[in-house]
Structure 1
Amino acid sequence: MPNEQHPPEQHTLLTEGRFDGRAAFDTMLRGALSSAAQQGWKEIVFSDPDFADWPLGERASIEALQAWSASGRRLVLLAQRYDVLERAHARFVPWRRMWDHIIECRAIGKTGGAEVPSAIWTPTWFMHRIDPERSRGVCGTDAASRRALRETIDECWRLARPAFAASTLGL
């Protein structure tokens, strides 16, 4: 029956529990971006040491971010460093420049003393890659798990400094 099936993006987002592998991670990230636009999430947090293997440079990811980016929205990026993101995600960098007013980026650097989690956090859903090398982790809507992940991200944020500027001004 058609009414019993969820669209792929919604089903991916609503999935709770463990995931395993790069394909599963990419699918869930794409689904989260689509759901963010469809459901009008006010805040999204992306956290990763360098975002090297995130599909942020894909046309579909940028289109979903563009659809999501409206008044009153906020995207937070937390990383160890942004050099890989700048080189590997050519479509994301100009989008970031255009939407600088809703994006806040910080880097903890190598000496920050904390390990940046590989995760997406929203007020209603999260995805946490506990083993980024193998793209294994958990996702879901559990409030306690979301809160614990946000506390970890907030601690790293507190230690981090502004980074990944939308433009570089020089004299």
Structure 2
Amino acid sequence: MESSPDDAGAADATRAFLGRADFQQAWRDALARVADQGCRELWFVDRDFSDWPLGDRATVDELTRWAMGHRRLVLLAAHYDAVQRQHPRWVSWRRQWSHVVQCRAADEADVEALPTMVLAPGVLALRVHDRVRFRGRLSFQRADGVRDRDDLDAFLQRSSESFPVTNLGL
């Protein structure tokens, strides 16, 4: 049987999730752990974040708790249309924490291969392996975080700044 984050004292703990509700609970558990343990960088990666609970009050509270200090949150997506429509609470939080948050758009050639993941180097790696059924795992193994960071670096090198905090028009 796999461990939950609550008993994840061992560096090799992992937890599988099956389905959207399990994914969202794993996401909440991951954010709570990151807020408790802290880490300098946090990465969210998805095509559009439409199935993520970004706009939940608990999410915003945990991100606020994590962001205190010298932190950096990077989002990588194909586009941010769904974020603007579905997660207004997070968009508002982002305005207040714009010095911490960076949003990047994946290169068009990478969109289909873009993973769905949360990465907190040295703390955890959450990865969805099947987007249709929302199957994946939350891992506290350093090796998983290193592998996911290597995968992510290739996408980031070809990405560009996106989703400005404010839109200035003339």
Q: Same fold (TM over 0.5)?
A: yes
Matched to 2:126, the amino acid is M
Is 2:33 the counterpart of 1:35? Answer: yes
Contact persistence 1:56–1:62 (CA under 8 A): yes
Counterpart of 1:82?
A: 80
Counterpart of 2:6?
A: 10
- Distance in 2 (alpha carbons) for counterparts of 1:47 and 1:100: 18
- Distance in 2 (alpha carbons) for counterparts of 1:46 and 1:112: 16
Greater Cα offset, 82-91 or 101-110: 101-110
Equivalent in 92, 95, 106 of residue 93 of structure 2:
95
- Distance in 2 (alpha carbons) for counterparts of 1:132 and 1:150: 20
Give the drift of 1:68: 1.4
Given the superposition, is the C-alpha separation of residues 12 and 29 from structure 1 closer, same or farther in structure 2, using an over 3 Å criterion?
A: farther
Q: How does 1:16-165 map to 2 (within 5 A)?
A: 16-112=14-110, 115-123=113-121, 124-165=123-164
Contact persistence 2:45–2:117 (CA under 8 A): yes
Give the drift of 1:92: 0.5
Matched to 1:138, the amino acid is R
Unaligned runs of 5+ in 2: none
Give the drift of 1:112: 4.0
Contact persistence 2:26–2:138 (CA under 8 A): no
Matched to 1:108, the amino acid is A
State the TM-score, normalizing by the size of structure 2: 0.88
Contact persistence 1:81–1:109 (CA under 8 A): no
- Distance in 2 (alpha carbons) for counterparts of 1:9 and 1:101: 29
Unaligned runs of 5+ in 1: 1-5
* CA deviation string 1:38-85 (max 9, x = no partner): 112221100001000000111111111111111211101011111111
Number of equivalent positions: 165
Runs (4+) of structure 1 exceeding 6 A deviation are: none
**SS in structure 1 of the partner of residue 145 of structure 2:** helix
Contact persistence 1:12–1:27 (CA under 8 A): no
State the TM-score, normalizing by the size of structure 1: 0.87
Give the drift of 1:133: 1.6
Contact persistence 2:46–2:116 (CA under 8 A): yes
